[in-house]
A = this chain, B = another copy of it.
């Protein structure tokens, strides 16, 4: 029934490749099927003005998409002179999600910026970005620890994200682009490795949904996140 032939509760093939950037303190190339996102974590030993002198750090994210990551070319945001509302919404979500598992005091007065740049887009770019950015973040924190730049344990848990939706009446896990454009309901779940929710965003694209449908999506999300968390641990050698 799904265009890809997957079962409703099947994730696409997911891969995480660490240390793909020669320069960044942490990096990860993550793929969810044909969606491919390059995540880098950059450590800077200063914090935004409003945090200065407070003895804590910050984690933030920026999101971008190459103009031809999609079926037809999108205008380059640097040329347009601003980020779209969609881009800002996504990068705010990535930043919030990662901060949920970071002890900012333990970072000291340092900032880690996660750049998530979509090389190919086939649905689920924000969930891939969160999942991959976490891997890059772990390596950046390790880099800081090696240099004794942290003050105690920085990471409180792991984090990953997945989308679910109601496609032709059936709840399905990890929507690809063809499913995404047609789904009646689309929901993104960000969860910790320990199985708690950090963010839920559900939107009725077609018909409004009811509580039982939402619960079905939550069940799928829990399954997907469990798999993603296991893969993250594996690639990180934990």
Chain B residues with Cβ under 8 A from A62's Cβ? Answer: 67, 76, 79
Chain B residues with Cβ under 8 A from A147's Cβ? Answer: none
* Chain B residue with Cβ nearest A120: B22
B76→A82 contact, CB < 8 A: no
* Chain B residue with Cβ nearest A101: B208
Q: Tell whether A87 is near chain B: CB-to-CB under 8 Å.
A: yes
Chain B residues with Cβ under 8 A from A80's Cβ? Answer: 78
Chain B residues with Cβ under 8 A from A226's Cβ? Answer: none
B73→A44 contact, CB < 8 A: yes
Q: Tell whether A180 is near chain B: CB-to-CB under 8 Å.
A: no
Q: Tell whether A38 is near chain B: CB-to-CB under 8 Å.
A: yes
B117→A66 contact, CB < 8 A: yes
| Contact-residue size bin, chain A (C-beta under 8 Å from the other chain) | 35 or more
A185-203 CB contact bits vs B (8 Å, 1 = yes)? 0010001101111111111
A66→B79 contact, CB < 8 A: no
A196→B218 contact, CB < 8 A: no
A204→B208 contact, CB < 8 A: no
A45-88 CB contact bits vs B (8 Å, 1 = yes)? 00000000000000000101011111111001111111101111
CA distance A82 to B157 in the complex (A): 36
B-facing residues in A81-121 (Cβ within 8 Å): 81-83, 85-89, 91-92, 96, 100, 113, 115, 117, 119-120
B208→A198 contact, CB < 8 A: yes
Q: Tell whether A122 is near chain B: CB-to-CB under 8 Å.
A: yes
Instruction: List 4 tightest A-B contacts by C-beta distance, closest first.
Output: A196-B208, A77-B78, A85-B88, A40-B68
